[in-house]
A and B are shown apart, each in its own frame.
Chain A
Amino acid sequence: MKVNVDLCMHCGACVGLCPQNAIYLDDTRITFNDDCVSCGRCRKACPVGAIRWDDE
C-alpha cells in the first residue's frame, strides 16, 4: 500500500483497524511493515482517501 502524505491527517484510523497490525504511525509518518497482506481494508477506511494500492 502507499500513502499520499499530503492528504494523510495522521488520525490513526488505519492503524487500529489493520487486521495484521502492520501499520505504524510515528506522530506524522505512516509506515507499513512486512506483515501487510494488501487486504485493502485501510484503503477503503481512510476517511480522506490517502491510502491507495501500490500501482494506483
Chain B
Amino acid sequence: MKQLTTDVLVVGAGPAGSITAKYAAMGGAETIMVEKKEEIGMPIRCAEGIAKRWIGDVGIKLDRRWIACEVEGARIISPDGSEFCINERLAGNEVGTVLERYIFDKVLAEDAARAGADIMLRTAAKEVIKENGKVVGIRGESMGEPVEIRAKLIIGADGFESQIGRWAGIDTNLEERDIITCFQYRLTNCKPNMEYCDFYMGTAAPGGYVWVFPKNETTANVGLGVQLTKLKNPGEVKMYLDQWIARTPEYAGGKPVAFNAGACSLSAPLDEATADNIMLVGDAARMIDPITGGGIANGCIAGRECGEVAALAIQSGDTGKEFLQQYEKRWRAKLENALFRNWVAKEKLVTLSDDTFNKIIRTLAEVGVDKLSVGNILQVIYDRHPELAEEFADLL
C-alpha cells in the first residue's frame, strides 16, 4: 500500500477545494489535494453562472479563457410570460458571467499548484482513518492502487456527496425539502437571450426553477431543478425538462451537445462544519445559496477562510476543534445570515402557486425592480397585493 503524510489534505478539487488548497499552501502548510476524477472540472454538474464582484476577494484573476458569455443580469419569468430584469449588482452572486467550468476549475487548481499544493488525480477516499476517536487521514484508491494518506488536517471539499464529513461524524444529512435534483442540456441550434440569464418560475419546475444561461448566440445551458418532495417516480426530473423544452418555442428545436445531472442542497447553515482535525467547505458544508442554488461564490469565499485557518492551525501545531472555531467564526461572519435568510425565503417560495408567481412578477415588472433590494421587493408585493401579505408576513 502506498503511504503518504502531509500537513493538510484537501479531498475534492472543485472551486472550494482549490481555493482552500491555495491558501493553505500560501500559508506554508504542506498540502495535498486529491480528486477522484481523472480531469478537474469534468464532468460538469453546474449551470455555470457566477457574478464577478467577489472573485478578487479570493485571489482569482479574471481570465477570458473561462468566460463563455457575459450578461447584464437576471430575467425572472412567470408562468404566464410576464418578466422583470435585475442587473448584476442586485441579482446575487450567481449572475453576470457564464463560465466554462472545465476551464475555470483547472485555472483554480493551477493557482493552488503554483502556491505549492500537490495534486493527485484519480485518487478517491473510501473511508477515514480514526485514531482515539479523531480523524487522522483517509484510506482509498489512487490510480487503481490502495493508498493511505495521513494528515494533521483533513478538508472535506467533496461536494454535494459530503461523505468525508459524515464518515468523520459531522451531521451533513439533508431533509427532503432541502434537496433539489437537477438535469441540464447544453442545447444548441436555439436562440437564447444574450443579455440575461433567464429564470422561469412556477410548476414547470416544482419547488425549483428552469434556467437558461447563454453560452453563445446559438447555445445555452438549459436545465431545471425540482424539489425532492415534489418527485414521485424515477426519471421525473429529466421528464420535466423535456416537457418544458418541447412546449417552449425558443428551445423546442434545440439539439443537445451535452447533458448533465446532479443535486444540490438548499438548506439552512450546518450547526457544525468542523471537528478535531477536520473542516468542511463548499457544497460539502451545505453552503449553497438556498434561493439561487449557486455554490461557487460561497464555496470560494469560505475556501479562503478555510485555507488560511488551516495554515494557522499547522503553524500553531493545534488542529483541534477549538482552534478550528476560527474558521467557523470567519465563514459564518461572511455567509451565515444570508444563508439562513434565503433558506427561510426558499421555504416560502416553494409553496407559491403559478397564479401567485404571475401576480408578483407582473407587479415587479410594473414597478421596475432595478432600484430595489430584496427587502424592498417584498415591500412592493405587500403594498400592491395585500391578499398575499399574510403569506409573506414572516419575510417582511
Contact = CB atoms under 8 A, between A and B. Distances in A.
Interface of A: 9-13, 15-17, 19, 21, 24-27, 41, 43-52
Contacts of B141: 26
A9 B163 CA distance: 19
Contacts of A50: 234
Contacts of A48: 183, 235, 237-238, 261
Contacts of A47: 181-183, 235, 237-238, 261-263
Contacts of A43: 234
B122 interface: yes
- Mostly, the B contact residues are mixed
B183 A17 contact: no
B234 A12 contact: no
Contacts of A46: 181, 234-235
A13 B231 contact: no
Contact of A12 (B161, B176, B183): B161
Interface of B: 36-37, 43, 45, 122, 124, 126, 141, 159-163, 166-167, 173-174, 176, 179, 181-183, 228, 231-238, 260-263, 265
Contacts of A51: 234
A41 B232 CA distance: 9
Contacts of B265: 16
Nearest to A16: B160
Please provide the 7 A-B residue pairs with the shortest distance between their CB atoms, ordered closest to farther.
Answer: A49-B235, A49-B234, A13-B263, A47-B261, A16-B160, A15-B161, A11-B261
Contacts of B237: 47-48
A21 B232 CA distance: 21
A41 B234 CA distance: 10
Contacts of A27: 36-37, 122, 124
A45 B234 CA distance: 7
Nearest to A7: B235
Contacts of B182: 47
18 contacts: A9-B43, A12-B263, A13-B181, A13-B261, A15-B160, A16-B160, A16-B174, A17-B160, A19-B173, A21-B163, A26-B124, A41-B176, A44-B231, A45-B179, A46-B181, A48-B183, A49-B236, A50-B234
A29 B181 CA distance: 20
B183 A16 contact: no
A44 B228 CA distance: 8
B195 to A, nearest CB: 29
A17 B292 CA distance: 19
Nearest to A17: B179
Contacts of B167: 21
A48 B162 CA distance: 21
Contacts of B162: 16
Contacts of B174: 16-17, 19
